[in-house]
A and B are shown apart, each in its own frame.
Chain A
């Protein structure tokens, strides 16, 4: 006590010596985030604005005609090819995110409720696939799903099929399988965190009030871990819509997604404004889809009570 009391005047003297600006906590906070913030502004906000601007211009062979036009959006929204690609991308990302969350939930549940002292070890094991590059992981799925791949040889050895099937690779399913695997860890972590926050006494209370294992899961654990499941869904859904590498490598003709079309416009087709319009369109659609998903899940959770 005495020491603290003696220390105090010194402290305030030192604080008074600092510029007043740095004393406010808000100012300190802003100072702390400003490098990242400025970097994000330069690398994220500015490119988005550039893309947005481009989407209202026209490609005129080698130059860009900067008169305002909605023609790019007309093409993006009405041309069957882009509309189909967008729908397929949404379908794939929605499927991938739901499948990923449904598969990740039991793993997160197991680690949180039965991991015991080894929770840290389990989480560490889950990150092991990330020790190799994303590209290598996608390529290895090619090895598994391919014509002479592990899956086909295995099924043939078991006598389930007589000749290699081409149904596994170069289609939508291949993209879904590969993306689900790639994003699993990102889904497990937020679900795990929200399950960790569920007060175990609440589960005992539900038991005390007559609930068996299934009912108390549905009535207490699931609703309370919903925020984690929703963030997992978003974490997977939003980036997978725009995934480019996976459909390119394992998607074949049927697995092409909107990002591949956008890449084509910025690359070979050399029509930046149309590419930009496709980008903006998919951004808007993804936002709408994510919002709708959150809304629907929250509504469903309320109804379930």
Chain B
């Protein structure tokens, strides 16, 4: 991907009285990137998206769009378009009229306008439904119309405000794949706001994880998941076992810690890591712990006892109590080998890869 910045968020703050919805955030989004703003409700992700779209203004700081400062430029003059959470389909217009809404201002000739509307409806597989009334659409269809209505404007940046949250699970997963495909086909920069970690991981080139007005980490989905910078990110994106540890050695790039259950571990130091005394936290994902069956052994293993079991169809979550650990470990194992049949109370041995252990800032 060519590294040309499309959006630059430069020390942007949005305050409502004493409350800062967004606190001195800086961020660069590349051209043609599928970028997600991920975080719990109230973290400032929607505020940031609305400021990029021009529906809200920064209290301080500047947003640059394709090199141009956007301060004071209203939403109707920005090269951005938005897919609203509620889709905001005009109820008094049919599908084709909805899609053509923004084109009217461009005063295209009728043939060209029709061609662009049909092209946009084609892109979202709605070509045959142009005459359908806005009130006769299903949730998924409304979402597609909203998408076509924004894409037909050929924006530099497409803003998506939780576009899939109103759809049922099956349709949501299908739309995730379609949205990703569509973004790759049109090559427009997409910025997606979501609170659904799986959605962000599945679709994005990069993700910014946000908490209470701050950007905690910006990285690829894989890095966000495997190398979270702190406990909060690790906990929000997927499940994580936290292990108390003691720092025994530290240099510029790595730290070495001592734990009761996982022994001595040398691991990469996260960027924002600040040492506070000797205490540290290690994290390991539940699926990076593997059940050792029968007589199998591993170089790295720990032993414990199953205290609870949750069945999820393709996987089972085993809650394993390990002597010397405060919190029991959560283990996610596929059911291929019969993890769903391990009785509660049974002794168990688990294998792990020391590379899967990450040091986490608090």
Contacts of B80 in A (CB 8 A): 208
- Residues of the B chain whose Cβ atoms lie less than 8 Å from the Cβ of A215: 105
B82 x A205 contact (CB < 8 A): yes
B64 on the interface (CB 8 Å rule)?
Answer: no
Interface bits A201-216 vs B (CB < 8 Å: 1, else 0): 1101111111110010
Q: Interface 1/0s, chain A 270-304, versus B by CB < 8 A?
A: 00000000000000000000000000000000000
- Give A210 to B153 CA distance when docked, in angstroms: 9
B267 within 8 A of A: no
State whether A207 and B74 are in contact (beta carbons under 8 Å apart), knowing that A201-B84, A201-B86, A202-B90 are contacts in the complex: yes
* Interface size class, chain B: 20 to 34
A164 within 8 A of B: no
Q: Does A199 contact B (CB under 8 A)?
A: yes
Task: Give min CB distance, B212 to chain A, whole Å.
Answer: 25
Q: Would you call A252 an interface residue if the criterion is a C-beta within 8 Å of the partner chain's C-beta atoms?
A: no
Given A209-B81, A209-B149, do A199 and B86 touch, yes or no (CB 8 Å)?
yes
Across the two chains, which residue of chain B brings its CB closest to A216? B76
Q: Which residue of B lies closest to A211 (CB)?
A: B76
| Min CB–CB distance B96 → chain A (angstroms) | 11
The answer, yes or no, to whether B55 is at the interface (CB within 8 Å) is yes
Total contacting residues, chain A, CB less than 8 A: 18
B92 within 8 A of A: yes
Residue in contact with A212 in the complex, picked from B76, B82, B88, CB distance below 8 Å? B76
Nearest residue (CB) in A for B80 is A208
Interface string of A119-130 (1 = CB under 8 A from B): 000000000000
Contacts A210-B102, A211-B76, A212-B76 given: A205-B153 contact, CB under 8 Å? no
Of chain A, the residue at the smallest CB distance from B55 is A204
Cβ of A223 < 8 Å from any Cβ of B? yes
* B91-109 at interface with A (beta carbon < 8 Å): 91-93, 97, 101-102, 105
Q: In whole angstroms, what is the CA distance A178 to B150 when docked?
A: 49
Are B76 and A204 interface neighbours, CB within 8 A? no
CB-defined contacts of A219 to chain B, threshold 8 Å: 101
A209 interface neighbour in B74, B86, B101, Cβ under 8 Å: B101
Give, as a whole number of angstroms, the nearest-CB distance from B72 to chain A.
Answer: 15
Q: Mark B39-62, 1 if CB is under 8 A from A, else 0.
A: 000000000000001010000000
Which listed residue, A199, A208, A305, touches B93 by the CB 8 Å rule?
A: A305
Question: Are B105 and A210 in contact (CB-based, < 8 A)?
Answer: yes
Q: Is A177 an interface residue (CB 8 A)?
A: no
Whether B315 sits at the interface, judged by CB under 8 Å, is no
Does B75 sit within 8 A of A, measured CB to CB? yes
Would you list which residues of chain A between 202 and 244 have a CB under 8 Å from chain B?
A: 202, 204-212, 215, 219-220, 223-224
Question: Do A206 and B101 touch (CB < 8 A)?
Answer: yes
Tell whether, in the assembled complex, residue B74 and residue A204 are in contact, meaning their CB atoms are under 8 Å apart: no
Are the C-beta atoms of B88 and A204 separated by less than 8 Å?
Answer: yes
A220 touches B90 (CB 8 A): yes
A203's closest neighbor in chain B, by CB?
B88
Residues 112-159 of B at the A interface (beta carbon under 8 Å): 149-150, 153
B153 partner residues in chain A, CB cutoff 8 A: 209-210
Q: Is the CB of A201 within 8 A of B76?
A: no
Whether B86 and A208, one on each chain, are in contact in the complex, defined by CB atoms closer than 8 angstroms, is: no
Is the Cβ of B97 less than 8 Å from the Cβ of A205? no
A205 near B88: Cβ-Cβ < 8 Å: yes
Cross-interface CB contact of B92 among A207, A208, A223, cutoff 8 Å: A223
Q: List 6 A-B contacts (CB under 8 A).
A: A204-B82, A207-B75, A211-B76, A224-B91, A224-B92, A305-B97
Having A204-B55, A223-B92, one finds 9 other A-B pairs with CB under 8 Å, namely: A204-B88, A206-B90, A207-B74, A208-B75, A208-B81, A208-B150, A209-B76, A210-B102, A215-B105
7 closest A-B pairs by CB? A209-B102, A205-B88, A201-B88, A210-B105, A207-B75, A208-B82, A207-B76
